[in-house]
Amino acid sequence: MKYVTLNNGVQMPMLGLGTWDLRGEEGKQAIINALDVGYRLIDTAKMYGNEDIVGQAIVESGITRSEIFITTKLNSSCLGYSQAKKGIEQSLKELQTDYIDLLLIHEPYVKSLDMYKAMKEAYQQKKVRAIGISNFQGQHYDYFIQNCGMIPAVHQIESHVYHSQLKFKQRMEKDSVQMESWASFTEGRKDIFHEPLLMEIANKYHKSVAQIALAYLIQNGIVVIPKTIHKERMIENMDVFDIVLSQDDMYRIQTLDLGQSLFHWYD
């Protein structure tokens, strides 16, 4: 596993498990399987309604808590300072932990700055090791950065070969904000696994298309959290850190970029 050092010195794994639609016993077992094969970053959110199974899976895995990096996100149920404070305490309880490694605001809200005030307090109280944002674009990102009082450690946004957002990443780098990708495989919006160019490059490196898609993001310095319930896919997704794509192949993959969201999240 490779790690990236955030702007406050905290180390974050560059690859983790996304859990957005994991539910119930099957979902819990998928998280346990991921931890068993070596995942150490688990990404959840209040919006997903599964913080409880994430907490249960981590406890049942038997892995020391300090070895696992937990990310969760506050949503519209936490609008405002006091609501965010309550939301943080609820997340700690659901996750069965004394601290959250990374806490994000799930999307731009009218009261994002009030929510962030509660997050900064939780950070100072060591209930949270790092704080950040998700899905802030354009003027929302600019306004937040200018007024937040503490630069986010991480910004999680849609990023994949068809919409890598590398130009936006350059802006984040100037702000010392680490970029993290959601939808690394497009969540079915594009048939990425049969993309001819990626198939050609995968054959060249004796890897799968999924591995090449992840390696492209990681080589660009982007943290990835692909979601899967299949243990063999988890193992495959983990086996990407020996891939070094040539500059020519990186450029060729970049030609797939459509320059627009596949999800209309930001409309």
The residue annotated as part of the active site, out of 3, 39, 48, 123, is 48
Q: Tell me how far apart the alpha carbons of residues 205 and 219 are, in angstroms, rounded to a whole number.
A: 15
Q: Tell me how far apart the alpha carbons of residues 39 and 231 are, in angstroms, rounded to a whole number.
A: 11
In degrees to the nearest 10, what's the CA dihedral of 231, 190, 180, 48?
Answer: -70
3-state secondary structure of 251: helix
Q: Tell me how far apart the alpha carbons of residues 212 and 215 are, in angstroms, rounded to a whole number.
A: 5
3-state secondary structure of 235: helix
Matching residue, tokens 């492209």: 216
Distances (CA, A) of 176 to 46, 141, 170, 180, 193: 26, 14, 10, 13, 33
Whether 39 is catalytic is: no
What residues does 131 pair with on adjacent strands? 103
Q: Which residues are catalytic?
A: 48
